Amino acid sequence: MSQLNLLLVDDEQDLLNIMLKRMKRRGFNAHGCSRGAEALRWLDENPADVVVLDMKMPGLDGIETLRRIKKAHPLVEVIILTGHADMRAAIEGMELGAFDYLLKPALLEELYYKIVDAGKRRRFRQNETSAAPSGA
């Protein structure tokens, strides 16, 4: 299986750096952005299988970023990883098509396996789409 392309989006630069380091060590092709708008620009130009997205960020917040990601890149799976335990916002994220919702502090192992599963799902969906007759 080819290397999974992972985009991490979090406005806390220290945390982002730690996660990037750990995810690269676990074999993902990982990239980090600290703003929603920056993530959208990056996705327009680079392939990604899975995005791990924070909710509260300056500028474009997590929900709006998620909405735009799913619109422009419907096959990309998005895992929300946030410290805001807000049930309404969480369900809104799920309704917008988030693959899963994890509360910080999440165990690295838990996040890792969620990313692996999200990557598998992304590949199945990709195959489904490419197997579908054109115009369907």
Partner 1 sequence: MSLASLFRRLLGRGPAQPPPKAALSEEDRRAFSQRYLVFKLLLNANNCALRSMGAMSGALAGPIPYGITYVRALCTEAGTNVYSLIRLLNELCGGRYTGLYERFAEIQGRIDAGISPRREALDDPLVLPLPAPPRCSRSGASGRPSRLLEAAQGLDLAVAPGVLITPAAFHSFMERNDLQPEISRRIQLATLRNLRALCRCSESLCNLIRKAPLPPELERDLAAAVVKLLPGAASLAMYAVPSIGSPTAAAVSALFPPVRGIQSPEDAVAAYHAMLTAKYAPEAMLHRMSRGIRGDEANLGVWCARVPEAAVSGVCLSRDPSGTEPPGVLMSLCPVQQGVEDLAAQEYLWALPRDPLGQQAGLESRRRLRGENPSGPPSPIPDDARLEALARVSRRAEARYGGPVVLEWTADKNGAVTLLHCRPQCPEQPHPVPDILDSTPFYSGGLAASPGLAAGSALRLDTARPPAVPPGSLLVAQEAQDAYAPLLALAGGLLAERGSLTGRLAAVARAFGVPALFGLSGLDEVRDGELLSLNALSGEVRRLTGPPPACPRLRLSPPPGSPVHAALQHALDQIAPLSFLDPDSTHFRAENCRTLRDIAQFCHEKAVDAMFQFGENIACQERAVKRLFCKVPMQFWVMNLDDGLLSAGGTQYVQLQDIASIPMLALWHGMTAIPWEGPPAMDGKGFMSILIRSSANPALDPAVNLSMAVRNYFMISKNYCHLRSRFGFHFSSVEALVGERTLENCLSFQLKGGAADEDRRIRRVRFTAEILERYGFDTQLHADSLTARLEGYDQAVMEDRLHILGYLTMHTRQLDMVMADEASVQHYRNKLIQDIETRLQAGAPAPRSRAAWSQDEEEPEAASS
**Where in 26-55 is the site for partner 1 (CB under 8 A)?**
none
Contact 68, 97 (CB under 8 A): no
Q: Least distance (Å) from partner 1 to the CB of residue 11?
A: 12
Amino acid at the residue 121: R
Contact 46, 21 (CB under 8 A): no
Q: Is 108 in the site for partner 1 (CB under 8 A)?
A: yes
Name the CA radius of gyration of the chain, rounded: 14
Q: Is 113 in the site for partner 1 (CB under 8 A)?
A: yes
Q: Least distance (Å) from partner 1 to the CB of residue 44?
A: 26
Element holding 24 (H helix, E strand): helix 13-25
Task: Give contact residues for partner 1 (rule: CB under 8 A).
Answer: 15, 18-19, 22, 56, 81-88, 90-91, 94, 100-101, 103-113, 117, 120-121, 124, 127-128, 131
